[in-house]
Structure 1
Amino acid sequence: MLTFVIRRLGASVLVLLGASFIIYVLAANAGDPLEDLRASTAINKEQLIQARITLLNLDVPAPLRYFIWLGGVLRFFIGDFDLGKNLAGQEVTALVGSSMWQTIQLVTFATIIAIVIGVAIGMTTALRQYSGYDYSVTFLAFLFFSLPVFFVAVLLKQYVAIGFNNFLADPVIPPVTIVVLSLISGFVWMSIIGGDPKPRLIVFGSATLITAAVLGYLLVTNWFQYPGLGPVLILGLGALGAVAGTAISTGISNRRALYASLVPPVLGALLWYPLQFVMTVQASAWLVPILIGAFLVGGGAIGYAMGLHDKWVAARGGAASGAFVAILLVLDRIMQSWPDYVTNTGGRPIATIGGSTPDLHGSIWIGMLDSYTHLLLPTVALLLISLASYSRYARASLLEVMNQDYVRTARAKGLTERTVIMRHAFRNAMIPIATIIAFDVGGLIGGAIITERIFAWKGMGSLFQDALDHVDMNPLMAFILIVSALTVIANLLADVAYSILDPRIRVG
């Protein structure tokens, strides 16, 4: 394994050097970085031109100038990393740091959610092949995939941001809308569950009534203006997550794992009141990871103690359930800051541009809420566009794996369908997805140029576009360097992941 990694990294470094040299020379000769100064009417125009030439070594031929830039990059190994300065004289390292953080916020959430939801949808459509649910999901996925991202962004601004902000002024849902939404929910869940007509009708009726009850509860309690979960919903959602997670990972028949997963929701509900004091008085940036880590470790320890012969299985379920409950607690505390945040934003909380609200004051919870509301629209835009590829690849891959001989053998042995899918088929079906994710990493850090422009995010995409427009070589090459290096590392990790997903594959 070590030999393979070293060999791959060595070959990748040579490729990066050759590619970066070609890009530098081509980009340097694609325009004039002094064009704005040449058209200037300033009295000291010649001095400004000479200062920029000296700053950026523009009097050196482009092929030789590349090695000056490369020397600054290689100083990383002696702790003096230097990416040079841009046309305005700003340090590129600082620009890249702030731009990368903006891009990580914007695109990482969208990509992670797209992978999780896309794989889940792909698996369910594969298991319900050629059903109405399969056709509906395929149609919607390719509908959004075919739409231009700027068009989706405009629709989101109009109907999600402006429409929801207007709704908050008078949050009333007409009875007809409640009936329509409830019926749609019933049809969706009925199509997902499938089966014989009688169970499908039961699911339809249950989903319809539950949706109507939830919408009615939200209106009666004025939840849209004063949202929150509280101990009851944390207990209920935590228990639902624990049951669902156990059903997927080990099966409900494993009572030890199920009981271990149900303990963290109970603890979360019991600790809700004292944690309100802690999260209000002792609020800090470190509180969230500490809380999640404490519940994760505590849930794992409880599962290990309750597991008997399946200690590690129960510990895994307890840890996952504990982390989920901690996230619910944090989400509840953030939601409690909603009324103050709405007041601070003038009653228009869903933002349409930028990454933060200027001059916003308040607790860290209001700051988190501000970040989430600014992330909402661009995240949904990227999610809708990228969901189709992940769901279609997951569907095709699982269908191919389900027809393999070893899957039929597992079924012939009498294994449950959950065991056949999750333990035998799912891991091998994820190999193509690992490849796609590795290729998407370059776009992940490179940023979504169009989306960033529409929502006025100053990320890596905007940095690249501005550098390209003004022939600003140092920011441009910093972008190329970071995206290329991360793409190489991601593909290397994908190769390693193959051997983890499929023991028959050996990396060497």
Structure 2
Amino acid sequence: MGISALVLLLGSVFLYVLAINSGDPLEDLRETRAENREQLIEARIRNMNLDVPWYQRYWIWLVGVSKCFVLACDLGTDRDGRNINTLLISAAEATLRLVTLATILAIIIGVTLGILAAIRQYSGFDYVVTFAAFLFFSLPVFWVAVLLKEYGAIRFNNWIADPSVSWTATAVIAVLVGVTLTSIIGGDRRRQLLTGVATTLFVFLAVTYFDSVGWWRRPALGLGLVILMALAAGVVLTSLTTGLRNRRVLYSALATVGAGIVGYFIFQGWIVEGGYGRLLLMYLISVAVAAVIGWVLGGWDRGVATWVSIGTASAFALAVSLDQLLRHWSGFLEREPRPISTIGSGSPNFEGPFWTGVWDWGVQLILPTLVLTVISLASYSRYTRSSMLETIGQDYVRTARSKGLSERVVMTKHALRNALIPITTIVAFDFANLISGAVVTETVFGWQGMGALFIRGLNLVDPAPIMAFYVVTGTAAVLMNMMADITYAFLDPRIRR
């Protein structure tokens, strides 16, 4: 922590000196012909403390920042006299929700693709993931953003006004999904053929059905699909942890789904009405009930059963939330006929039910989040693949196989856990890099976030917004590295000693 604090301090001095020497903050006022020119110059000098040496201005800023340790930050004012604290809170809220979501998605998708590519080394799926990773990594951020604005917003808004999917597009979608799933699952030729044909047929029929009933404008899952999704999550989690032969863990997951169905009817009113407080309370109740079920029914594996039950309950809660969101999509379309916005992070003065408000809050995140996710996705997938391949070749993995352990246990308990250690380091640095990289993305999509705050300070030779940007990004880098160190100890018990 001491070294991190010293790095932050030296970095702040360096950045402050660069900021104040990047131009003349009074240039526009020196050239103005306004009658109150002298008063405007005096006001700006007072707001920016230009009447004192630079090191004294920096000291004033540093003293204000040091008050953050007692939760009383004073980041000063910008050149127009506006409080930087207020500007920073608004900007940080927009940027952090964007960057946090992009980081989570990139980790989940990138690590999953990297693991599958390593397991299916030199397969068609591996080649496709490798090609896509290099392609995404090479694409300019601003160009990807412009393409998404054209195809993900403008053309989608035109399509959703009267949505329909042609037979050709349906067939192409079905074949692509079938080929992708087949390459992931693998197996002999007969298994691949059956998987591909069954998946292609199912997707073709599903898209055709959705198109015929107008599902694109009036979507919903229904309790049946919610239950199926929760059951699938329980089966997958059981398979990945102990295997389906462990009936106690499997029964714990199934009992959790049954408890979720009962809770669905008990809290139906709260679910429909929504609200972040109520949703959080219901989720905590579901987690507590799931933990009890796993502990009671788990037997000797009650620890694993508890976590599987909690994961199943989380999947059930996520499916219920998704169902409610889909049910309010039509209401959101009535308020916003062109739902995907290309500019801004939200509709001003938007009023409506809770779930409709979530749509307004969420659709603005889609395009910029996709841009940042694609950027990070490439590195996560490649690093994970490389780390997994290196781990799979280690002696302890060969020993685990020689002891007769199943491939599932070898991959999840021996290979994956050790392969994630270097990935943790990448996550720590990537989060801070994404905040810095979001400057371009926010500029393209017109977000009033940290990027806009930084660029405004840079253009106006105003160090206060620039230093506020540095405080957030620098602190994020330090905190993420600290979390990485803690995660190391969790992944590898030897590090705890």
**1:402 paired to 2:377:** no
Aligned to 1:59: 51
**1:171 paired to 2:163:** yes
**1:292 paired to 2:276:** no
Aligned to 2:461: 471
**1:26 paired to 2:18:** yes
Amino acid at match of 1:392: R
Pairing of 1:436-447 with structure 2 (within 5 A)? 436-446=426-436
Aligned to 1:455: 445
Aligned to 1:80: 72
Deviating beyond 4 angstroms after TM superposition, the runs of 4 or more aligned structure 1 residues are none
Amino acid at match of 1:301: V
The runs of 5 or more residues in structure 2 that have no matched partner are: none
Aligned to 1:318: 309
Percentage of matched positions with identical amino acids: 45
**1:377 paired to 2:344:** no
Aligned to 2:119: 127
Q: CA 1:268–1:218 in 2, change beyond 3 Å: closer, same or farther?
A: farther
Alignment partners' CA distance in 1, 2:276 and 2:184:
40
Aligned to 1:328: 319
Q: CA 1:160–1:482 in 2, change beyond 3 Å: closer, same or farther?
A: closer
Q: How much does 1:416 deviate?
A: 0.6
SS in 1 for 2:229: helix
Amino acid at match of 1:365: W
**1:97 paired to 2:104:** no
Aligned to 2:174: 182
Which of 277, 298, 308 is the equivalent residue of 1:307?
298
Alignment partners' CA distance in 1, 2:71 and 2:230:
46
**For each residue in 1:382-425, what CA deviation from the matched residue of structure 2 results, as whole angstroms up to 9, or x when unmatched?**
11222110000000000001111111111111111111111111
Amino acid at match of 1:460: M
**For each residue in 1:10-53, what CA deviation from the matched residue of structure 2 results, as whole angstroms up to 9, or x when unmatched?**
22222222221122122211211112222222111111111111
Q: How much does 1:482 deviate?
A: 2.1
Aligned to 1:6: none
Aligned to 2:410: 420
Which of 222, 227, 235 is the equivalent residue of 1:230?
222
**For each residue in 1:207-234, what CA deviation from the matched residue of structure 2 results, as whole angstroms up to 9, or x when unmatched?**
1111112112212332111111110110
Q: How much does 1:271 deviate?
A: 4.3
SS in 2 for 1:351: coil
The runs of 5 or more residues in structure 1 that have no matched partner are: 1-8
Q: How much does 1:493 deviate?
A: 2.3
Aligned to 1:5: none
Q: Over aligned residue pairs, what C-alpha RMSD do you find? A: 1.6
Alignment partners' CA distance in 1, 2:180 and 2:87:
46
Q: How much does 1:369 deviate?
A: 0.8
Aligned to 1:108: 100
Judge which range, 354-363 or 414-423, deviates more.
354-363
Alignment partners' CA distance in 1, 2:14 and 2:148:
40
SS in 1 for 2:494: coil
Residues 230 and 272, structure 1, Cα contact 8 Å, conserved in 2:
no
Q: How much does 1:435 deviate?
A: 0.5
SS in 2 for 1:357: coil
Q: How much does 1:259 deviate?
A: 1.9
Judge which range, 150-159 or 201-210, deviates more.
150-159
Aligned to 1:143: 135
Alignment partners' CA distance in 1, 2:70 and 2:305:
47
Which of 173, 189, 209 is the equivalent residue of 2:201?
209
Alignment partners' CA distance in 2, 1:96 and 1:408:
53
Q: How much does 1:380 deviate?
A: 1.2
SS in 2 for 1:448: helix
Judge which range, 372-381 or 287-296, deviates more.
287-296
**1:11 paired to 2:11:** no
SS in 2 for 1:277: helix
Alignment partners' CA distance in 2, 1:400 and 1:130:
15
TM-score (norm 2): 0.96
Residues 257 and 313, structure 1, Cα contact 8 Å, conserved in 2:
yes
Q: How much does 1:77 deviate?
A: 4.0
TM-score (norm 1): 0.94
Alignment partners' CA distance in 2, 1:275 and 1:161:
36
Aligned to 1:435: 425
Alignment partners' CA distance in 2, 1:275 and 1:496:
37
Residues 344 and 360, structure 1, Cα contact 8 Å, conserved in 2:
no
Aligned to 2:377: 387
Residues 185 and 208, structure 1, Cα contact 8 Å, conserved in 2:
yes
Alignment partners' CA distance in 2, 1:76 and 1:187:
54
SS in 1 for 2:169: helix
Aligned to 1:220: 212
**For each residue in 1:235-280, what CA deviation from the matched residue of structure 2 results, as whole angstroms up to 9, or x when unmatched?**
1111111111221222222221122122333343444455442234
**For each residue in 1:142-185, what CA deviation from the matched residue of structure 2 results, as whole angstroms up to 9, or x when unmatched?**
11221112211222122222222222222221222222221222
Residues 391 and 415, structure 2, Cα contact 8 Å, conserved in 1:
yes
